[in-house]
Structure 1
C-alpha cells in the first residue's frame, strides 16, 4: 500500500529482467490501457513509470482512480486492465477468488524491498524505553492514549479502505490499544511530522519503501515473526486464543492484471511483466512529490528522460 528529511541516494538501475524473448505483437493500440491509481504516492510513481513505458511503445494509457481494496472486480470485468503495485500483506481476498476463477492474473513481482509493521519515530524510544520489543507497548499504553481512546493507547492504523491490519494485530496480541484508521496516506505523514516536531508519543502502522522512513527516523516494533500459521492457528504465537498475534509475513509487491490483457496487448503485457523497480529508484521520486511538492507526471517524465538506459531496453525487447 504511500509507504521524511532524507538522503536522496542514487540507487541501482531498474532491474530489467531481460532475456532472449522475441518481440511481441502490439495488439489493440487504438484502445487505451487503463491503469489503476490507488491511494499512495509510491503507487502513483510505480504506475506512471509503467505507463510511460507503455506510451513509449506506442500505446495509449489512461489512469483510473480506484480503491485499492475494491478494484479487482472492475479488473475482472476488463474495466481496469492492470494495477502495478499490489502488496500481498493486505491484498483483498477478492483478488485470490478472482485469480482462482481465471479472471485476473498475477503478472509478476515489481521488485521493491518491502516491510510493514507497527512503527514509531526514534525519539519515542526515550518515552517508552522497552522499545523496540513489542512487550513494552502494554506498559506504555497510557502514554499513547488520546481523548478518543482513553483509557487505551492509540494506534494510528492504515486508512479504512486498506483493510484493518493494525486492529487485527492489536486484538491478536491482546494489547490495550484502540486502532484508529487514518484518513489517507497524507494523514499518516502528518502524524509522523507532528510527533517528530513535538517529540510526542506515536505508534503508527507504516511501511517501506517510503520517504518518511528516513525523514523521521522511523523504526519498526519487533513483533513475533510473521508466519502463515499465525494467521490460521490460534495456538501459534504468544496468544493461544487468537490469530494475528505476530508481525506481517514478509511482503511481496506485484503487478496484477485483467486476464485478457496478454491476448489484447501482447507487447504491453511483456513490458509490464519485465518491468522491475528498486526501492532506491522509487523513494527519491516519492520525496520529490511529497516533500518538494512536484507533480508525479513531471517527476516521472524527468526521471524517464534521464534514465533511458534503465527502462528503454525493456520496451525495445518487447516491440523490436
Structure 2
C-alpha cells in the first residue's frame, strides 16, 4: 500500500462496515493499464480506493482491445473506461461469448473523432463539414503525404478505422498513426506556434479541450450498423462511411466472478461514476502538471473526498 492509500485507509474504514470488507478475497484484484492518461489515472484512483477498503490490487499493462477477452476469462478483473467509439465492438464481442458484463455507466458523455484546433478554421473556413475538409486537403499536405492531406490518427491498437473512412468517403488524405496519445498532443503543440493547420484524432473528455479550443469534424451521422454493414450509410459499398457516435457512452466492465469473489469491491465498482470535468482534471494532472499517474490519482482523491467516499459502502 502506498503512502497515499495509507492516508485514505483510515477515512474509508471509518466510513464503512468492516464486516462487508472481510467478505472480499485476499487475492489481488487485477486492474488493466492502457496508453492514455485518463484511463491510467482513473485506474490508479479506483485501485487506491479499493486498497483503502482492505483489498489487494495489482495493475497490469494490457492491450486496450484484447483486455475484454482477458476480463471474460478472469485474468483481469475489470475495465474502468469502455469508450463506445473505440472499444464498443470488442466489448460487445466479449459480452456475446459470456464471462463479463456491463458494470454501469459513468456520467461522462464521450466523443472520439477527427478534430482540429480553432486556428485551422482560418485556413479552411468551411469546417467543420467533412466535405469542406476534403476540399481543403492540400492545406494539410506535408512532405510525407505529397499533394494529399495528412491526418494523424490514434495509435494502431486503438482501431480508429481512419484509413477505412478515408477510403469509404473517397477522401484526399493520408492516414498516419501516432505512436501514443502524447504524440497527438505534441502535434497540436508544435502547430500552435505558427498556427499551422492540423487535423488529428481527439476525444472528450480529456484535458486538451481546455488548452486548445477546437471542434470535431462533422462526418455523415453515425447510425447503427454503419461500421459493420456496407448497405448502411452514405456509401452502399463500404463500411465506416460515417462519424463516430457524437454522444457515446463510457462504461465499466467486470468479470462475472468479481461480484462473488470481491463483493464489497464489486459494489464500489458499480457506484463509481466520473463526469467529463472530473476525467479531464485527472488527465491534466499528468499531461499538463507532469505528475506520475499514481501521485495524480492520490492528489485527486485527496481533493475530492465528497465524490468518492460514498462509493465505499458508507
Both structures adopt the same fold (TM-score exceeding 0.5):
yes
Q: 1:244 aligns with which of 240, 245, 250?
A: 240
3-state secondary structure, aligned to 2:227 = helix
Aligned residues: 295
- Matches of 2:202 and 2:187 in 1, distance apart? 11
User: For 1:277-292, what aligned pairs fall within 5 Å after superposition?
Assistant: 277-292=274-289
Q: Are the aligned partners of 2:71 and 2:78 in contact in 1 as well (CA < 8 Å)? A: yes
- Matches of 1:233 and 1:98 in 2, distance apart? 20
User: For 1:208-247, what aligned pairs fall within 5 Å after superposition?
Assistant: 208-247=204-243
Q: Are the aligned partners of 1:84 and 1:110 in contact in 2 as well (CA < 8 Å)? A: no
- Per-residue deviation, 1:190: 0.6
- Cα offsets for 1:84-120 (capped at 9, x unmatched): 1111212164432332222122211122221111111
Q: Note if 1:150 corresponds to 2:146.
A: yes
Give the ranges of 4+ consecutive aligned residues of structure 1 lying more than 6 Å apart after TM superposition: none
- Cα offsets for 1:282-309 (capped at 9, x unmatched): 2122112111111222222122223222
Deviates more, 1:163-172 or 1:190-199: 163-172
- Matches of 1:90 and 1:281 in 2, distance apart? 20
Structure 1, gaps ≥5 residues long:
1-22
Q: 2:45 aligns with which of 34, 49, 54?
A: 49
- Matches of 1:202 and 1:90 in 2, distance apart? 22
- Matches of 1:261 and 1:300 in 2, distance apart? 23
- Per-residue deviation, 1:58: 1.3
Go from structure 1 to structure 2 and tell me whether the alpha carbon gap of 1:225 and 1:26 turns closer, same or farther (over 3 Å shift). Answer: farther
Q: 1:116 aligns with which of 112, 117, 132?
A: 112
- Cα offsets for 1:120-166 (capped at 9, x unmatched): 11111111121111111222111212222223211111100111332
Look up the match of 2:33: 37
Deviates more, 1:227-236 or 1:105-114: 227-236
3-state secondary structure, aligned to 1:91 = helix
- Per-residue deviation, 1:214: 2.0
- Per-residue deviation, 1:181: 0.7
Q: Are the aligned partners of 1:70 and 1:92 in contact in 2 as well (CA < 8 Å)? A: no
Q: 2:272 aligns with which of 263, 272, 275?
A: 275
- Matches of 1:94 and 1:217 in 2, distance apart? 31
- Matches of 2:119 and 2:208 in 1, distance apart? 15
Q: 1:65 aligns with which of 58, 61, 77?
A: 61
3-state secondary structure, aligned to 1:44 = helix
Structure 1 length as normaliser, TM-score?
Answer: 0.86
Higher relative contact order, structure no. (Cα contacts within 8 Å, ≥ 6 residues apart): 1
- Matches of 2:300 and 2:292 in 1, distance apart? 12
Look up the match of 1:193: 189
Q: 1:261 aligns with which of 258, 261, 281?
A: 258
3-state secondary structure, aligned to 2:313 = helix
Go from structure 1 to structure 2 and tell me whether the alpha carbon gap of 1:306 and 1:143 turns closer, same or farther (over 3 Å shift). Answer: closer
Q: Are the aligned partners of 1:69 and 1:92 in contact in 2 as well (CA < 8 Å)? A: no
Structure 2 length as normaliser, TM-score?
Answer: 0.88
Go from structure 1 to structure 2 and tell me whether the alpha carbon gap of 1:110 and 1:241 turns closer, same or farther (over 3 Å shift). Answer: same
- Cα offsets for 1:171-191 (capped at 9, x unmatched): 222111111111000001111
Q: Please provide the CA RMSD for this pair.
A: 1.8
